Structure 1
Amino acid sequence: MSTSSAINTSSILVLGATGKTGRRVTGILGPAARPASRSAATTFDWSDSDTWEPAVAGTTAVYVVPPDNPLLLADFVRVAVKAGVTRLVLLSMRGAPDDDPFEAAVKDSGAEWTILRPTWFMQNFDEDLFAAPVQHGELAVPAGQGIHPFIDVADIAEVAVAALTQPGHHGQTYDLSGPEALSFPEMLARIVAVTGNPVLYSDVEPDEFAASLRGLGYPDEIADLVTMLLVRVRTGEEAYLSDGVKRVLGREPRTFADYLGSSKFA
């Protein structure tokens, strides 16, 4: 591990600052953060490169929630490093290949880098993809009875902040998961136990699920990716636990019960 000194925490750019991980990273950093998004005081838009240089000016580290296009990420990284950024922490995903172009853009930047590869987020059940179906009483996904160690995004945020502000994380790829692998029926049963509102679980065919995402406005590539990841849960490829949270934070990750206690279900 690198023994380089800690980053000056007065100038950390947080991309995707209104998102699930970004707003929590911002919250932990407090005044040290420069939150950036299309709607933040610091404007940042992946589709408008004119916003990039003003956003990174004077910063030394960046929490990167990447765009859909790795070429855009590579272009941004060059702008950031030229402006004086010396540390990059990238939110990647479990199962990303070692030659992943998004990760390569950060690794080849010349700056210190850390890669975070988390599992599915627990907060998907109350803040994102699964929230509306759960609220309406039926969740249909192509995951069968497969189990997966969903992670609380609060843990991702704490790991990200450690990598952004502390020495010793350069060149590290952290696989992050929760402490237990659960099936969708098990997780829904725990949600129902908290809320008292029944939720029906349906295992649907992948093509049907992908079509439903497209109907909600998801681009084809995102619909196909999300479907593929859920099929990996169904086939058992996603059941294993990862130790990245404990390696970085020195404690076990939050459980699904912990999440429920702090979620919109509580």
Structure 2
Amino acid sequence: MTTQRVLVLGGTGRTGARIVRRLAERAVPTRVASRQGEYPFVWEDRATWDAALKGASSAYLCYSPDLAFPGVAELIAEFTQRARELGVNRLVLLSGRGEEGAQASERAVQTTAAEWTIVRSSWFAQNFSEHFLLGPVLRGRLVLPAGDVVEPFIDLEDLAELATAALIEDRHANTVYEVTGPRLLSMHDVAAEISAATGRSIDYAPSTAEEFMADLARDGIPRDDTQALAELFEEILDGRNATVTSDLESALGRPCRDFADYARRSATSNVWQTGFQDQR
């Protein structure tokens, strides 16, 4: 690709902001699309699509809260077709590992885009510091319907590095990456790692879906969102993802970041200071 302008949907979010930063470091012209900003973008508002897409050569696609939610696959298919019509030939889609509902969106991208990369990810380590599990960490009690299931948590710094490369390098085209962190951890292990990094006592309390929803509601998360998350977690937290892959390490050409490294960095940033909860 000789002339590049990369569109990053959700460019101010957890994955998007990290990708935008890396593109800037490489001096790649980048268009940041989000709900607020120079290029407003809302998935459900088709009137916002063209301004974001026109003139872009590649695009990073992510859907929040989750690609597997009902109706999202149809939306992704329509957007992918419009991107192709406007000359956006390379798409990089963030997908979920072990989510059958997300695979319909993957197929829409694979069928329509001239070049595509699917980044099928395990759980983000940063969910505990930048998203819905921050509140439980601040309260010192992880309440999740996860039992003793183990998960290979991925560091978003690694995921963003791969996604950035896929947007601007030819070698990642038409590839499905199933990416994980380097080791399996239970929620008990996660609580222990965060406790060690912060010097605080963080416990894990296996819960029902209703208990999980009630705990998230304490942070002002709408019930519809908490219910959807609870249903999704009950679906995928059954051991189906309890394996580590080498895709990310192979793509990056180096070892992946470990959860313990993430926990130490987050603790240093003071995001897990108990006083922060009172400011939310």
**Fold conserved between structures, TM > 0.5:** yes
Q: Is the 8 A contact 1:89 1:113 kept in 2?
A: yes
Aligned counterpart in structure 1 of residue 231 of structure 2, from 218, 224, 230? 224
> For the residues of structure 1 that align with 2:157 and 2:172, how far apart are their CA atoms?
19
The two structures have a TM-score, normalised by structure 1, of 0.89
| Alignment CA distance shift 1:39-1:226 (3 Å) | farther
Partner in structure 1 of residue 23 of structure 2: 29
What letter corresponds to residue 258 of structure 2 in structure 1? T
Gaps of 5+ in 2: 270-280
The aligned residue for residue 56 of structure 2 is 59
**What is the rounded CA distance, in whole Å, between the counterparts of 1:194 and 1:110 in structure 2?**
43
Identity %, equivalent residues = 38
Q: Aligned match of 2:9 in 8, 15, 25?
A: 15
Evaluate the alpha carbon distance shift between residue 146 and residue 99 of structure 1 in structure 2; reply closer, same or farther with a 3 A threshold.
closer
Change (3 A) 1:214 1:108: farther
Deviation for aligned residue 1:98: 9.5
Letter matched to residue 234 of structure 2: T
Match of 1:3 in 2: none
Q: Deviations over 1:131-167 (max 9, x none)?
A: 1011011111121222111000111111101111111
Contact 1:7–1:61 (8 Å) recurs in 2: no
1:248 aligned residue (246, 251, 255): 251
Describe the SS at the equivalent of 1:263. helix
Q: How does 1:34-45 map to 2 (within 5 A)?
A: 34-45=31-42
Distance 1:87 1:121 in 2: 24
Alignment partners' CA distance in 2, 1:7 and 1:174: 25
CA–CA distance in 2 between the matches of 1:78 and 1:264?
43
- What is the RMSD computed on CA atoms of the aligned residues? 2.1
Q: Distance in 2 between matches of 1:165 and 1:110?
A: 15
What code does the residue aligned with 1:209 have?
A: F
User: In structure 2, what is the Cα distance between the partners aligned to 1:110 and 1:200?
Assistant: 45
- 2:185 is matched with 182
Question: Partner of 1:145 in structure 2?
Answer: 148
- 8 Å contact kept, 2:143–2:215: no
1:227 is displaced (CA, Å) by 3.3
TM-superposed deviation, 1:83: 0.8
Structure with bigger helix share is 2
- What is the rounded CA distance, in whole Å, between the counterparts of 1:264 and 1:12 in structure 2? 33
Distance in 2 between the 1:191 and 1:105 partners?
39
Question: Structure 1 residues 218, 118: CA separation in 2 closer, same or farther (over 3 Å shift)?
Answer: farther
Amino acid at match of 1:8: T
> 2:251 and 2:223 mapped to 1: Cα distance?
34
Runs of 4+ displaced beyond 3 Å: 6-9, 96-99, 210-216, 220-223
Q: How many residue pairs get matched?
A: 256
Query: Are the equivalent residues in 2 in contact too, given 1:214–1:223 (CA < 8 A)?
Result: no
Contact 2:198 2:267 in 1 (8 A): no
Partners of 1:91 and 1:117 within 8 A in 2? yes
